C-alpha cells in the first residue's frame, strides 16, 4: 500500500485575507490595501460586521471585520484606540467601506494600522455585507470540509494497514508521511515508546527527539501538536494510555494535522488495548535502533545520544554485540513479543551489566548491546547472556520439546563503530548457524567460513563440490552401518589425533583405524594429506547448508 499523500494546502480551516479580497463580493467593492500588505496571508477564521465603538470585545481573533466606519470615532485618539484594540484582539483584517461616514480613511487610522501590522482595506464601492459574509463563510466551510476529507483519508489508510496485518509502527508511519514531520508515541509521563519519520536532511527521529525535547523540559517546542491516546486501565474510560507528539521540525503543524492525529489516536487506542502492546512497541523501537545501527543508517558518533534516549548508558567500556535468532517456525505464544522481551530482560538483569534489548519480529531476532567494564570479561558475560536468553525463551513459553533451541551469536567487543559492524556480522551469522551443531553460543569470528558457505548455499557449484568430496561416504551411510561421516567429522575436528577421536566416539583404536582405512578407500584419498584435510573439512561444513 502506498502511504504517500499528494501535496495539498493544509494551512488551516479558514481562508487568507488575500483570498477573501479576490472573491466576487469584496472584489466588486474595488478594495485598496492601505496597511499590512505584507500580512495578507493571515487566516480569516470568520467574518463579522458591526458599527459599535467597543466591537473588539465581541471578537475572538481571526475575524475579518466589515464596517462603514460609524464606530471608529471622530477624533484621532479614538480612531487610534479603535485600531489598537482590534490589533490586540488578533483580528485578521479591517475592511472599511467608504461612503457617508468617510470619503477617505483618516491618516490616524492608517498610521496606527501600519504601526500595529494590521491589514487595513478600504472599499471604493458599496457592497452588500450580507452577501460578502455568506460568500466568505461558504468558502471557509468548504475548506473545512476538504480538510476533514484529508483527515479521513489518513483514518482510512491506517485502518487498511491494520487489516493488512500492520500495527502501531505502520499507523505512525502513515501519520508521519501525511504531516511531513517525525511522529513520536510516548507514555503519559513522557517516556518514548516509538519514533518514526525523519527530520531535515533525513535526520533520524531519535536524534530529533534528543535535540528538541531535551531543550524543552517544562513544555514542548512551539508549534508542537500533542494528542492523547485514550485507554482503559486504572484511570477508567477517561484515562490516557499514551500520547502522540508531532514536532514541527521540517514543516509547520496545521489544524488538519491535528485532525489526522486525533483520528490516528482513536485507532491506536484500540490497538493498545491489547495486553502489553506498549512493551512490545518499545522493544520494537529498540530493535529498530539496533538494526539501523547495524546497517549503517545511524552514524557511530550519533549513536550514544540516541541510545541514551532509549535508556542505555553503558559507560566508557567496550560494547558487546549479541544476536539471538529463533528457530524457523518458532514465535511467541500468548502475549506476543512483549512477553518474550520482558522475560528475557528480567533474566538479563542478573548478568549485572547495562543492556539495550530489542526485538525484530519479522526476522525472528532479538538483538542486544551490553556495556562491559573491560574487554577481558567478554567471554564470561557471553556465557551468562546466552543462559539468560534461553531461559527467557523458556519463560515466554516458546520452548518446544525436541525443537532446536534459539541460536545465540556473540560478536567482537569494541566501540560504537565496532558495535555497528558486530551487530550486522552477528545477525548474518545467526542465520547461517541454524544448521550447525548446537552450542550455548557461537563466536561470530569463528564462523566466517560457515557464513561464506551459507551465502553460497544456492549456488550449484557448492552442491557439486560437496558431492565430489564426500559423495561416496554419503552413499555408503545411506546403505550400510556403521555410518562413516560422523567418524570423519570427529577425526577432523580433533586435527587427526586418533587417540582423542577414539575416546570421543567410544571406540577402541583398531576399530577406529579400520574405519579410517575404509573412509580413505571409499574416497580414494590420503587422510594425512593437508590439502585433502582442508577439502574434506570444507565439504563437511558445506553439506549443512546445501539442499
Instruction: For residues 126 and 171, state if they share a domain.
Output: no
| Per-residue pLDDT at 77 | 93
Question: How many folded domains does the chain comprise?
Answer: 4
Mean local confidence (pLDDT), 282-303: 89
Whether residue 482 is preceded by a cis peptide bond, meaning omega within 30 degrees of 0, is yes
Asked whether residue 155 is domain-assigned, the answer is no
Asked whether residue 150 is domain-assigned, the answer is no
Measured distance between the N- and C-terminal CA atoms of the chain, rounded to whole angstroms: 35
User: What CATH number does residue 419 fall under?
Assistant: 3.30.70
Over the stretch 485-524, which tens digit does the pLDDT of each residue have?
999 999 998 888 999 999 999 999 899 999 999 999 999 9
Instruction: For residues 447 and 467, state if they share a domain.
Output: no
Over the stretch 342-379, which tens digit does the pLDDT of each residue have?
888 888 888 888 999 988 888 888 999 999 988 888 89
Domain that holds residue 109: 15-137
Instruction: For residues 359 and 216, state if they share a domain.
Output: no
Contact yes or no for 197/250 (Cβ under 8 A): no
Instruction: For residues 499 and 476, state if they share a domain.
Output: yes
- Of 235, 257, 273, which residue constitutes the final position of a domain? 273
**Quick one: which of 2, 43, 1, 7 has its CA closest to 150?**
7
User: What CATH number does residue 490 fall under?
Assistant: 1.10.10.2840
Instruction: For residues 287 and 326, state if they share a domain.
Output: yes
Over the stretch 137-176, which tens digit does the pLDDT of each residue have?
888 877 777 777 877 888 888 888 877 777 788 888 898 8
Helix (H, G, I), strand (E, B) or coil at 489: helix
Share of residues in the chain with pLDDT > 90 (%): 34
Instruction: For residues 215 and 331, state if they share a domain.
Output: no
Q: How far apart are CA 178 and CA 501, in angstroms?
A: 66
Asked whether residue 1 is domain-assigned, the answer is no
User: What CATH number does residue 247 fall under?
Assistant: 3.30.450.40
User: What CATH number does residue 99 fall under?
Assistant: 3.40.1390.20
Asked whether residue 333 is domain-assigned, the answer is yes
Asked whether residue 252 is domain-assigned, the answer is yes
Asked whether residue 157 is domain-assigned, the answer is no
Instruction: For residues 532 and 511, state if they share a domain.
Output: yes
Residue 182 has pLDDT above 80, yes or no: yes
| Per-residue pLDDT at 260 | 86
| Per-residue pLDDT at 316 | 87
Q: Which three cell numbers stand for residue 36?
A: 499590512
Asked whether residue 37 is domain-assigned, the answer is yes
Mean local confidence (pLDDT), 310-329: 88
- Of 97, 121, 137, which residue constitutes the final position of a domain? 137
pTM, two decimals, is 0.60
Asked whether residue 338 is domain-assigned, the answer is yes
- Of 454, 479, 495, which residue constitutes the final position of a domain? 454
Instruction: For residues 293 and 331, state if they share a domain.
Output: yes
Contact yes or no for 139/53 (Cβ under 8 A): no
Instruction: For residues 322 and 389, state if they share a domain.
Output: yes
Bridge-based pairing of strands 225-230 and 192-196 is unpaired
Place of cell 491516546: 229
Helix (H, G, I), strand (E, B) or coil at 246: strand
Instruction: For residues 31 and 78, state if they share a domain.
Output: yes
Q: Between these two residues, 334 and 209, which has the higher pLDDT value?
A: 209
Instruction: For residues 292 and 439, state if they share a domain.
Output: yes
Residue 394 has pLDDT above 50, yes or no: yes
| Per-residue pLDDT at 83 | 93
Instruction: For residues 324 and 434, state if they share a domain.
Output: yes
Amino acid at each position: 500500500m502506498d502511504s504517500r499523500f499528494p501535496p495539498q494546502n493544509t494551512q488551516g480551516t479558514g481562508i487568507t485575507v488575500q483570498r477573501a479580497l479576490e472573491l466576487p463580493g469584496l472584489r466588486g467593492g474595488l478594495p485598496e490595501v492601505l496597511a499590512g500588505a505584507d500580512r495578507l496571508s493571515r487566516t480569516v477564521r470568520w467574518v463579522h460586521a458591526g458599527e459599535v465603538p467597543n466591537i473588539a470585545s465581541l471578537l475572538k481573533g481571526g475575524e475579518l471585520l466589515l464596517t462603514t466606519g460609524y464606530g471608529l470615532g471622530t477624533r484621532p485618539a479614538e480612531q487610534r484606540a479603535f485600531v489598537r484594540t482590534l490589533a490586540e484582539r488578533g483580528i485578521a483584517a479591517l475592511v472599511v467601506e467608504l461612503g457617508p461616514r468617510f470619503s477617505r480613511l483618516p491618516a490616524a487610522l492608517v498610521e496606527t494600522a501600519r504601526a500595529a501590522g494590521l491589514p487595513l482595506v478600504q472599499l471604493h464601492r458599496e457592497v452588500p455585507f450580507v452577501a460578502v459574509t455568506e460568500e466568505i463563510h461558504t468558502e471557509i466551510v468548504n475548506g473545512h470540509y476538504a480538510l476533514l476529507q484529508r483527515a479521513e483519508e489518513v483514518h482510512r489508510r491506517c485502518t487498511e494497514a491494520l487489516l493488512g496485518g500492520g500495527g502501531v509502527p505502520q499507523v505512525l508511519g502513515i501519520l508521519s508521511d501525511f504531516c511531513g514531520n517525525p511522529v513520536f508515541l510516548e507514555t503519559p509521563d513522557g517516556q518514548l515508546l516509538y519514533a518514526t519519520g525523519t527530520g531535515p536532511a533525513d535526520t533520524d527521529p531519535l536524534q530529533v527527539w534528543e535535540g528538541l525535547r531535551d531543550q524543552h523540559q517544562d513544555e514542548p517546542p512551539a508549534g508542537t501538536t500533542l494528542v492523547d491516546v485514550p485507554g482503559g486501565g486504572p484511570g477508567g474510560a477517561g484515562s490516557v494510555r499514551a500520547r502522540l507528539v508531532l514536532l514541527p521540525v521540517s514543516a509547520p503543524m496545521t489544524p488538519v494535522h491535528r485532525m489526522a492525529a486525533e483520528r490516528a489516536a482513536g485507532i491506536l487506542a484500540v490497538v493498545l488495548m491489547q495486553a502489553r502492546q506498549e512493551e512490545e512497541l518499545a522493544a520494537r523501537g529498540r530493535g529498530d535502533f539496533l538494526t539501523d545501527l547495524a546497517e549503517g543508517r545511524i552514524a557511530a558518533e550519533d549513536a550514544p545520544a540516541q541510545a541514551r534516549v532509549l535508556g542505555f548508558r553503558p559507560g566508557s567500556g567496550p560494547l558487546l554485540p549479541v544476536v539471538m535468532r529463533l528457530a524457523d517456525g518458532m514465535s511467541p505464544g500468548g502475549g506476543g513479543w512483549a512477553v518474550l522481551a520482558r522475560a528475557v530482560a528480567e533474566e538479563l538483569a542478573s548478568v549485572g551489566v547495562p543492556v539495550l534489548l530489542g526485538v525484530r519480529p519479522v526476522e525472528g531476532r532479538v538483538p542486544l548491546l551490553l556495556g562491559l567494564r573491560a574487554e577481558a570479561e567478554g567471554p564470561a558475560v557471553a556465557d551468562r547472556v546466552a543462559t539468560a536468553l534461553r531461559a527467557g525463551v523458556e519463560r515466554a513459553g516458546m520452548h518446544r520439546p525436541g525443537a532446536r533451541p534459539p541460536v545465540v551469536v556473540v560478536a567482537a567487543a569494541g566501540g560504537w563503530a565496532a558495535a555497528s559492524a558486530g551487530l550486522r556480522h552477528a545477525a548474518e551469522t545467526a542465520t547461517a548457524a541454524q544448521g550447525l551443531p548446537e552450542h550455548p553460543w557461537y563466536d561470530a569470528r569463528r564462523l566466517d567460513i560457515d557464513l561464506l558457505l551459507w551465502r553460497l548455499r544456492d549456488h550449484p557449484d557448492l552442491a557439486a563440490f560437496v558431492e565430489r568430496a564426500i559423495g561416496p561416504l554419503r552413499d555408503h551411510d545411506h546403505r550400510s552401518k556403521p555410518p562413516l561421516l560422523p567418524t570423519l567429522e570427529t577425526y577432523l575436528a580433533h586435527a587427526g589425533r586418533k587417540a582423542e577421536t577414539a575416546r570421543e566416539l567410544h571406540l577402541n583404536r583398531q576399530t577406529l583405524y579400520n574405519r579410517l582405512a575404509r573412509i580413505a578407500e571409499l574416497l580414494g584419498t590420503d587422510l594425512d594429506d593437508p590439502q585433502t584435510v582442508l577439502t574434506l573439512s570444507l565439504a563437511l561444513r558445506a553439506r549443512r547448508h546445501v539442499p
